[in-house]
């Protein structure tokens, strides 16, 4: 993983915590979770407060996600809002955290001047044993505490202020007035500084969960569709009257669901020509074929002439596998006629011909699913499914790893928003 670290393709764009008072606050939050305090004087954190360095020190990458449900968080500064989430068991953790930051911006800004916020994103289940447990999660509630106890002190001060206003003789109570002064020294003027977060409950919409090999749950009102391994506990048994189940290896049914529910864009010249996505996938497919055929292929020489030479020497193999010539033919057809009938495309290649619908609320989740089902496209896998990318990267040879890192650094990392807009039709969040 060292190459990924150096290129900031893993644990990149994190916030450094090095000031002693911030390290002390972080440790108080850790103590609040019942965790050992870090001995590090400097470490980095993501949007949720997860630190790769602290995880390494504890030898526990799940120290803020011990049961892969009810995710813990530590907020040191409002600046964390625009950081990535680098380790999570739910695809919408970043979205939920972003909603929390946005809805409680004033309180977070006020509290973190003197304190750190920490707590849990509480689901309706304590652990996940079956798919039914995941289906029970419809909304989450943020349970929020503060390392220096400012929140409880602010609540106490608010009660004393209300008493002072309501009771005519309360101003004669010297002990109460002294306590108010003592509390105000810690909290500041609570009439001006909003210290208690307002909105703590948020909807848990469609998402991917890192359970049972990966589970996609798409909500449609009261109904849901689950896409996962058919051997997952509860598959086709939990709420069969309300939930549809599709094995993730049944690409035909998965595609039909996404098409029927309006979550994908079918191949059209209107977007294919402008984005270059099909040609991108053709290039990714060709690289995949080369890697699978020549284990020690030198991709440093991977220019158009090198690729064409390889193609001419492996015409039979490329034709038999079929996906590369399919993408080339489809690109030409769309350029000439502007459209293609999806029914004329074999099921095994349909996911290569479509993209997630940019204006659909489930765009990122569908992008993740398509990336998982078209694994040769390591660029899209990195954009939408980083954990899947890291797992695949472990199986690449050293020369191909070097090429992959170079490609991502020269394309996606240079300007993420522009790259996503051009290929996938959406700029996306800054924390992606």
* pLDDT 10s digits, 114-162: 889 999 998 889 899 999 999 999 888 888 887 767 766 766 776 677 6
Mean pLDDT of 269-289: 93
Mean pLDDT of 277-297: 92
Whole-number pLDDT of residue 202: 84
DSSP reduced 3-state for 120: strand
Mean pLDDT of 264-284: 93
Domain for residue 94, yes or no?
A: yes
Mean pLDDT of 44-55: 97
Whether 238 shows a pLDDT value over 90: the answer reads no
Whole-number pLDDT of residue 155: 67
Into how many domains does the chain fold? 3
Q: Which residue would you say has higher pLDDT here, 351 or 139?
A: 351
Q: Give the residue from 254, 11, 245, 278 showing the smallest Cα distance to 135.
A: 245
What's the Cα-to-Cα distance from 142 to each of 26, 96, 203, 215, 245, rounded to whole Å? Answer: 18, 10, 11, 23, 30
Whole-number pLDDT of residue 99: 92
Mean pLDDT of 421-425: 94
Mean pLDDT of 414-427: 90
Domain boundary among 132, 147, 162: 147
Mean pLDDT of 312-327: 95
Whole-number pLDDT of residue 189: 61
Q: How many Å apart are CA 426 and CA 418, to the nearest integer?
A: 9
Mean pLDDT of 393-422: 93
Whole-number pLDDT of residue 367: 97
Q: Looking at the structure, do residues 37 and 161 belong to the same domain, yes or no?
A: no
What kind and span of H or E run contains 39? Answer: none
Mean pLDDT of 259-266: 97
Return left, alpha or beta for 239; rule: phi > 0 is left, psi -120 to 50 is alpha, else beta: left
Q: Looking at the structure, do residues 278 and 387 belong to the same domain, yes or no?
A: yes
Q: Looking at the structure, do residues 59 and 154 belong to the same domain, yes or no?
A: no
Domain of 104, in residue numbers: 2-147
Q: Looking at the structure, do residues 127 and 155 belong to the same domain, yes or no?
A: no
Domain for residue 242, yes or no?
A: no
Q: Give the residue from 90, 123, 110 showing the smallest Cα distance to 211.
A: 90
Q: Looking at the structure, do residues 135 and 277 belong to the same domain, yes or no?
A: no
Q: Looking at the structure, do residues 63 and 174 belong to the same domain, yes or no?
A: no
Domain for residue 323, yes or no?
A: yes
Domain for residue 220, yes or no?
A: no
Averaged pLDDT of the chain: 90
Q: Looking at the structure, do residues 155 and 103 belong to the same domain, yes or no?
A: no
Count of beta carbons in the 10 Å neighbourhood of residue 16: 10
Domain for residue 211, yes or no?
A: no
Domain boundary among 187, 209, 237: 187
**pTM score:** 0.87
Domain for residue 198, yes or no?
A: no
Q: Looking at the structure, do residues 295 and 389 belong to the same domain, yes or no?
A: yes
Q: How many Å apart are CA 389 and CA 348, to the nearest integer?
A: 21
Q: Looking at the structure, do residues 140 and 155 belong to the same domain, yes or no?
A: no
8 Å CB contact between 132 and 234: yes
Q: Looking at the structure, do residues 34 and 180 belong to the same domain, yes or no?
A: no
8 Å CB contact between 151 and 195: yes
Q: Looking at the structure, do residues 46 and 75 belong to the same domain, yes or no?
A: yes
Q: Looking at the structure, do residues 155 and 73 belong to the same domain, yes or no?
A: no
Whether 219 shows a pLDDT value over 60: the answer reads yes
What's the Cα-to-Cα distance from 403 to each of 291, 372, 421, rounded to whole Å? Answer: 11, 20, 24
Mean pLDDT of 187-213: 75
Domain for residue 249, yes or no?
A: no
């Amino acid at each position: 993983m060292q190459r990924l670290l150096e290129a900031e393709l893993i644990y990149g764009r994190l916030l450094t915590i090095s000031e002693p008072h911030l390290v002390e606050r972080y440790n108080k939050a850790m103590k609040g979770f019942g965790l050992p305090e870090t001995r590090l004087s400097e470490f980095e954190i993501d949007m949720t407060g997860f630190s790769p360095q602290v995880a390494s020190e504890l030898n526990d990458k799940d120290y803020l996600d011990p049961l892969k449900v009810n995710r813990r968080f530590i907020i040191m500064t409002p600046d964390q809002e625009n950081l990535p989430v680098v380790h999570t068991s739910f695809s919408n953790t970043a979205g939920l955290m972003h909603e929390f930051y946005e809805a409680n911006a004033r309180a977070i800004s006020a509290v973190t001047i003197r304190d750190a916020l920490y707590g849990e994103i509480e689901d309706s289940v304590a652990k996940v044993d079956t798919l039914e447990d995941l289906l029970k999660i419809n909304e989450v509630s943020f349970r929020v505490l503060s390392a220096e106890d400012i929140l409880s002190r602010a609540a106490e001060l608010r009660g004393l202020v209300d008493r002072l206003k309501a009771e005519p003789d309360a101003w004669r109570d010297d002990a109460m007035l002294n306590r108010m002064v003592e509390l105000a020294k810690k909290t500041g003027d609570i009439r001006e500084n909003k210290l208690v977060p307002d909105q703590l409950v948020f909807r848990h919409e469609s998402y991917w969960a890192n359970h049972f090999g990966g589970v996609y749950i798409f909500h449609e009102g009261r109904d849901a569709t689950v896409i996962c391994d058919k051997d997952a506990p509860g598959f086709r048994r939990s709420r069969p009257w309300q939930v549809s189940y599709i094995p993730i290896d049944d690409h035909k049914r998965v595609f039909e669901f996404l098409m029927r529910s309006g979550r994908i864009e079918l191949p059209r010249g209107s977007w294919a020509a402008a984005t270059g996505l099909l040609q991108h996938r053709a290039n990714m497919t060709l690289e995949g074929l080369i890697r699978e055929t020549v284990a020690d292929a030198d991709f440093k020489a991977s220019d158009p002439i090198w690729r064409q030479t390889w193609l001419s020497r492996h015409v039979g193999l490329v034709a038999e596998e079929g996906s590369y010539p399919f993408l080339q033919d489809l690109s030409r057809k769309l350029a000439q006629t502007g459209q293609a009938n999806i029914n004329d495309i074999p099921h095994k290649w349909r996911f290569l011909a479509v993209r997630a619908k940019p204006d659909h609320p489930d765009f990122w989740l569908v992008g993740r699913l398509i990336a998982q089902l078209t694994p040769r496209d390591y660029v899209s896998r990195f954009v939408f499914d980083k954990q899947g990318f890291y797992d695949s990267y472990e199986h690449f040879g050293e020369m191909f790893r070097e090429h992959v890192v170079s490609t991502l650094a020269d394309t996606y990392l240079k300007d993420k928003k522009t790259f996503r807009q051009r290929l996938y039709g959406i700029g996306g969040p800054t924390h992606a």
